[in-house]
Structure 1
């Protein structure tokens, strides 16, 4: 993966990806129309993993038809003026469901105790799939500004 950084303003990408934030998956439809899907994710150091259900998540079919896609992240704090952006470009593939990988995703957002999770996340099964996004490039930029709110 090629990492493109602003030499003057950057941040630790791996630490940034450990936070439970939303990823924005950008894909295209068969007729070339762009689509964006906010998703939960898990970064394993090589790929970004996302849970999807073919019955309700159309992004799985879109990446099967056209695997080239992008994933973006933005962290902003209005009070401090912090704006960090990481934009990934690469390709994705749909993989069979793996409960261990799914658990890595879900515990980031819901905590370690599955008994306390919303019931719809407690019993995911092989009806679900995993999307594995492999980045080719990532742009890492600290676009922070001086805030008037501090």
Structure 2
């Protein structure tokens, strides 16, 4: 018995193919896992809705959440799309922006995508903007080599 996907390509994708596929998924998917850590409270991971604007990932969460607390103490963040057979991980530093600080285009885009505008909520929300410094993408063991497709903010060829 084999566990290989018969629709999967015969060999590993090139970096260009991984970049294309990754950008398509960032534009189409709506959920991301966001991992943060706090020096005293330890790691914390949460699923959030996200919007990719072509350069950064935008998420939104309650201002009093552990995610915001952690990112204010240490802005490093790791994000992962929820598919273990088609992995996409992003690493970067998060900026925490209040509803008054978030650029209108980013907040409007988030509201349009999800039909929910955090700026209208009674409790305060914070927008999280993560510009990736690194992106890794792979589909199984054959693609472990070459999985780093963006490094120091630059797409690798």
TM-score (norm 1): 0.68
Q: Which runs of 5+ in 1 are unaligned?
A: 1-6, 77-82, 111-116, 145-150
1:114 aligns with none
**Per-residue deviation at 1:125?**
6.9
Q: Is the 8 A contact 1:26 1:35 kept in 2?
A: yes
1:53 corresponding residue in structure 2: 62
Aligned mates of 2:129, 2:123 — CA distance in 1? 16
Per-residue CA deviation, residues 108-133 of structure 1 (Å, 9 max, x unaligned), is 344xxxxxx6xx86824793221111
Describe the SS at the equivalent of 1:12. helix
Instruction: Could you tell me which runs of 5 or more consecutive residues in structure 2 were left unpaired when the two chains were aligned.
Output: 1-10, 142-157
Say whether the 8 Å CA contact 1:90–1:135 is kept in structure 2: yes
Question: Contact (CA 8 Å) 2:33, 2:82: kept in 1 or not?
Answer: no
Q: Would you identify which runs of 4 or more consecutive aligned residues in structure 1 move more than 3 Å? A: none
Answer yes or no: is 1:128 the counterpart of 2:125.
yes
Kindly tell me the number of residue pairs found equivalent between the two proteins: 123
TM-score scaled by length of structure 2: 0.65
Q: CA deviation at 1:30?
A: 2.8
- 1:103-118 equivalent positions in 2, closer than 5 A: 103-110=108-115
Answer 1 or 2: higher relative contact order, Cα 8 Å, separation at least 6. Answer: 1
Which structure carries more helix by proportion? 2
Q: Is the CA contact (8 Å cut-off) linking 2:60 and 2:118 kept in structure 1?
A: no
2:79 to 71, 85, 92: 71
